[in-house]
Amino acid sequence: MRTGRPGRDDRAAPADRPGRPPRSANPARNGPSVRAERPQREERPARVERPRRGAGRLAPAPAAVKATVPVAPGEGERIAKLLARAGIASRREIERMVAEGRIAIGDKIVDTPATILKSLQGVTVDGKPVAPPEHARLFRFHKPTGLLTAERDPKGRATIYDRLPHGLPRVVPVGRLDLNTEGLLLLTTDGGLKRQLELPSTGVERTYRARVFGEVTQTMLDDLIEGIEIEGVRYGSIDANLERRTGRNGWVEMKLREGKNREVRRVLEHLGLQVSRLIRTSYGPFRLGDLPVGAVDEVLQHDLVNFRKTLK
């Protein structure tokens, strides 16, 4: 006869188990259940935000504290904008510097590029005080083909900064020119001026000359004055003129005020033309003229001040 643990039928019923009262099959008959009141949980301390990943890599930094200064509504500007205007870096680069904990106000690390300040007094970058911004400066650069309009390229391609002369202050480009587009590229020390010149609402005119191949007539180009839509993108009014034509080769001058990405090339290609060369000859009143390829010169302060007075 097998002995050992009792089978399921041999086990005691729940009512027969010691220490546990009998229970009816109907829970309603058992009366209301009584539960011991649990003590209330103690309130947890406020959560302390930790520095973002990568903060403090380049300089020792305490836990990130939101370094804001009380500013009345309508006063002050974002720290990223102030630093860009001071020529420290572009706004995008400043956002990376903030994330790395490299910017502080006094002994407090700035943790957001949206921090509002009246001035840069007490602001440091990598532990060094930021000098107050100087007056805006503007330069003309004759960009050659084969250079990217960027500070750096992950693929290691050459950028405009590889060709700029030594001794030039830190500058940012006004707008962009494609890798294979040449001509006038404005450079400025003032991030506010850069944005003002780029905004479509400002309406600063840009002029391009394009060497094209294909069938083109002035009538085709005249239609662009009303604007054109290409693959869902609307391009504004373009003043286009056929300068000269030899067979199926020709030169077209185009004046526009928006400057969307690759706008000139896309419009001409939409007309069935192949663009073999594209040159920007002017940006507002500033012209390329006879500036040599790769050369840089500064716009006279008097001319810049007068031009800024005309901006909307």
Q: Which residues participate in catalysis according to the annotation? A: 178
Separation between Cα atoms, residue 277 and residue 81, nearest integer Å? 36
Q: What is the Cα–Cα distance from 177 to 11, expressed in whole angstroms? A: 87
Under a CB-based contact definition with an 8 Å cutoff, are residues 134 and 52 in contact? no
CA nearest neighbour of 295 among 141, 186, 145, 181: 141
3-state secondary structure of 247: coil
Which residues, in sequence order, are bridge partners of residue 140?
186, 297
Distance CA 86, CA 90 (A): 10
Residue 121, φ and ψ in degrees, nearest 5: -65, 125
Would you state the structure tokens that stand for residue 297, as one six-digit string? 């010169």
Specify whether the CB–CB gap between 286 and 184 falls below 8 A.
yes
CA distance 270 to 36: 78
